[in-house]
Amino acid sequence: MNSPLSPNPLTSVEVPPRTQADLTQIMLRFASLSDAEMSNGAIAHPNPVSSAIVSTTQQVMRVIQELRSPDSGWPGDMPQTPENLAPYVAEEVYDVIDALQSAPPVTAQPDARWHEYSSLQSLLPWLLWAIARSSYEVMRLIEGVPAECFEGHQRQSGILRLSTRLDIAAPDFSATLDLATQQAPANTVPATVQLRSEACSLCQEAIAADVLLEHINQQVKLTTPVLNRFFEGLNADFLVPQQPWQTGVIWLQLGFEFVPTGVPVAESFASPPNPTLQFTETDWLEDYAKMVVQRQMQDAIAQLPEFRAVSTSPTDRDALVPKLVEDACHLMEWLQSPVAQSNQNFLRRNLSLTDFSRWILWCLSRSTYEITQLVGGVQATLLQPGASWQSGTLRLLAALRLKTVEHDWYLDLGTGQALPYALESVPVPPDSLVQSGECAWCQRPDLFHRLHSEVMANLQQTTPELQLLMEGTGIDMAESDHWEPGALQLTVTLEFMPDKPLTL
């Protein structure tokens, strides 16, 4: 039985020659997505996997791990199949079944972008975000990292980039582009080429391109399930100016591009010096890792076939045990995958301040597409009591305080600039009205404090590990080779930056 956690084989789809369409002019509608799939695309709804489901599943995994130990006394001539393991974990699996069946149902409203007519141009950034949110390392690869490429006895230095290719094929037109560059895709590297990059934990040791791509495909599809349909090829209705409505197919493909530079990576991509951070509180790091694992398990369990079946329909408990054991084994394998491990252990490394800042912005952005928009800033209008309407930029301001004996810094992570003060932007009266046509959360006028509360609640729900950074923790910080103890704390708030000074 195949698991959705198992990597799918690489596929290549040839697009037949047709008239190339202007992507900015194409309108489309997805008529074949079910309500459940449209809800999966929304991302913002509460995760249906409760902490009780996670904890009981973890207990099943612990028992299986003990049985796999060389000291467990397991008979050497008996394979550890789900059927053979089932009697030894039956009681723990019954607890999982009870947790699944007692969990309150979660109903999610389908995301409007999937059932309304929209422009293809507005869908492209969402698709890129949906891929990048799967992992910080995936985001870095989309941007491009210094790397080395090995083929036979040849070695080249250059830039390695994850290509995110979108193809559309309809009776009278076709379109193809890379989501990140908005240009025609370049040729991808052969599957057997070996890749290595010190800048990406997924390939710090040489790894074949197809193996690395399998890890990434697995993570992307698990994190944002609606993308599975795009990778398979999704039917849609298209309307191009001066053409009739026509039904076609839209699909995504991932691959790797490599651009040689001809000079050693370390020389070509040397970074300006910036402080190095090391997290020092062991208990804090353990709490962080547990939160990441819980989030990963929630994402994965929601996609495992037998877990989903138990939560939706009653079934014979004894017959379910080996099936749930099989799902638990798949889950254990996935939690040990390079991408999952990279997310769990990210803060255990020594990190440059630049990398750490970029990681925080990724954590914020991975929660929802609307948060991503607010991190970058959206055009908005604000009406404060006793004042006139103002136009300006509404953004989610993330600031990091770094304090040591010698330094006390406040950094605006969005701009990379140091702030000369603690995070105390000009306060917006909570009963002000704010509106933005660029963000779905405030397309109609809404109270500023209500929008702020919605944003913070969303972050708490989707990225609880950031709450630990908001509480603060101890670090060591080094410039050159001089380490000094200190602390850091993250602050996140919603701010409005007017285009012009306020006129009363």
Residue type, 125: P
Whether 263 and 131 map to the same domain: the answer is yes
The structure tokens listed for 213 are: 């791509």
DSSP-assigned letter for residue 109? P
Paired residues of 489 in beta bridges: 401
**Rg of the chain's alpha carbons, rounded to an integer?**
25
Q: What distances in angstroms separate CA 85 from CA 5, 60, 413, 453, one per listed residue?
A: 20, 11, 49, 47
**Phi, psi at residue 147, to the nearest 5°?**
-155, 175
Work out the angle at residue 263's Cα, subtended by the Cα atoms of residues 260 and 269, and round it to the nearest 5 degrees: 90
Whether 186 and 328 map to the same domain: the answer is no
Work out the angle at residue 10's Cα, subtended by the Cα atoms of residues 173 and 115, and round it to the nearest 5 degrees: 50
Indicate the residue among 328, 345, 362 that finishes a domain. Answer: 345
Question: How many angstroms separate the CA atoms of 169 and 11, rounded?
Answer: 16
Q: What interhelical angle do 51-68 and 317-335 show, nearest 10?
A: 80
Whether 155 and 229 map to the same domain: the answer is yes
Provide the pLDDT for residue 113: 56
Provide the pLDDT for residue 366: 92
Whether 122 and 204 map to the same domain: the answer is yes
**pLDDT tens-place values along the chain, 504 residues long:** 444 344 343 333 444 445 556 777 899 998 766 555 554 444 434 456 888 999 999 999 999 999 999 988 999 899 999 999 999 999 999 999 999 888 776 555 555 555 578 888 889 999 999 999 999 999 999 999 999 999 888 899 999 999 999 999 999 988 899 999 888 888 899 999 999 999 999 999 999 999 999 999 999 998 888 899 999 999 999 999 889 999 999 999 999 999 998 655 444 444 444 899 999 999 999 999 999 999 899 888 888 877 777 766 666 788 889 999 999 999 999 999 999 999 999 999 999 999 999 999 999 999 899 999 999 999 999 999 999 999 999 999 999 999 999 888 889 998 888 876 555 455 799 999 999 999 999 999 999 999 999 999 999 888 888 999 999 999 999 987 889 999 999 999 999 999 987 655
Question: How many angstroms separate the CA atoms of 213 and 211, rounded?
Answer: 5
In a domain, 276, yes or no: no
In a domain, 447, yes or no: yes
In a domain, 466, yes or no: yes
Provide the pLDDT for residue 477: 95
Whether 115 and 188 map to the same domain: the answer is yes
Q: Residue 335 belongs to what H/E stretch? A: helix 317-335
Give the number of domains in the chain.
Answer: 3
Instruction: Identify the domain containing residue 228 by its residue range.
Output: 23-33+108-268
Q: Quote the pTM value.
A: 0.84
Question: How many angstroms separate the CA atoms of 59 and 69, rounded?
Answer: 16
Whether 400 and 387 map to the same domain: the answer is yes
In a domain, 332, yes or no: yes
Indicate the residue among 268, 301, 323 that finishes a domain. Answer: 268
In a domain, 8, yes or no: no
Count Cβ atoms below 10 Å from residue 297 Cβ, excluding itself.
Answer: 22
In a domain, 281, yes or no: no
Question: How many angstroms separate the CA atoms of 465 and 487, rounded?
Answer: 17
The residue to which tokens 């079910």 are assigned: 34
Whether 92 and 192 map to the same domain: the answer is no
In a domain, 12, yes or no: no
DSSP-assigned letter for residue 495? E
Whether 322 and 354 map to the same domain: the answer is no
Provide the pLDDT for residue 311: 65
Whether 146 and 233 map to the same domain: the answer is yes
Whether 92 and 175 map to the same domain: the answer is no
pLDDT tens-digit profile of 207-224?
999 999 999 999 999 888
Whether 306 and 365 map to the same domain: the answer is no
List of residues 6+ apart from 149 with CB closer than 8 A: 155, 156, 157, 158, 160, 189, 193, 194, 195, 258, 260
In a domain, 206, yes or no: yes
Whether 191 and 259 map to the same domain: the answer is yes
Provide the pLDDT for residue 481: 80
